[in-house]
Structure 1
Amino acid sequence: MTAIIERVLNDALALPPIERAELIRRLFQSFDVSEDNHIDTAWTEEVESRIEAYEKGLLTASPAEEVLARINRR
């Protein structure tokens, strides 16, 4: 790995989780040259509606560790 990539990676890892997720999304989008963005739009709307519902107390959340432990027990 080049020094520049290493520095960018370290900077990215220092970001809060939501900002890291946004960075990942934008990096993945840079590879997508298709004009079929309706799926991305639908997922964006779904995510935003879930966040809004969570913030209003209409949805609950579980820590990632608990979710992964449940998956691993299956």
Structure 2
Amino acid sequence: MSDPVSHILSLGRALPPEDRERLVEQLLESLNEPAAAELDAAWENEIQRRLAEFERGEVLPIDAEDVFAKARRIAR
């Protein structure tokens, strides 16, 4: 390990277990940030595409009650 990593690791090991857990979670989340940004952009594009289809009248809205009723029937 590099010196800064060793230093941070020793500091981390001195933390109480709940703080170490929080630190690990945040470090792991930071590894996914670029992927999350790409996913956010992809969803934004999909939302805009669907909205444009709706505004052009290419798709019709479906009542939420109907959607949930169908989902309940399928789930049985």
TM value normalised by structure 2: 0.51
Residues 2-39 of structure 1, C-alpha deviations (whole Å, 9 max, x = no match) = xxxxxxxxxxxxxxxxxxxxxxxxxxxxxx75132111
The residue type equivalent to 2:73 in the other structure is R
Structure 1: segments with no counterpart, 5+ residues: 1-31
Distance 1:70 1:35 in 2: 36
Amino acid at match of 2:68: L
Work out the CA distance in 1 between the residues paired with 2:42 and 2:34: 14
Partners of 1:35 and 1:51 in 2: CA distance: 26
Equivalent residue letter for 2:64:
A
State the aligned residue count. 43
Which aligned runs of 4 or more in structure 1 are off by greater than 2 angstroms?
Answer: none
Of the two, which has the highest radius of gyration? Answer: 2
User: Structure 2 stretches of 5 or more lacking a match?
Assistant: 1-28
Identity %: 28
Q: Deviations over 1:16-69 (max 9, x none)?
A: xxxxxxxxxxxxxxxx75132111101110011101110110111201110000
User: Match of 1:63?
Assistant: 63
TM-score (norm. length: structure 1): 0.52
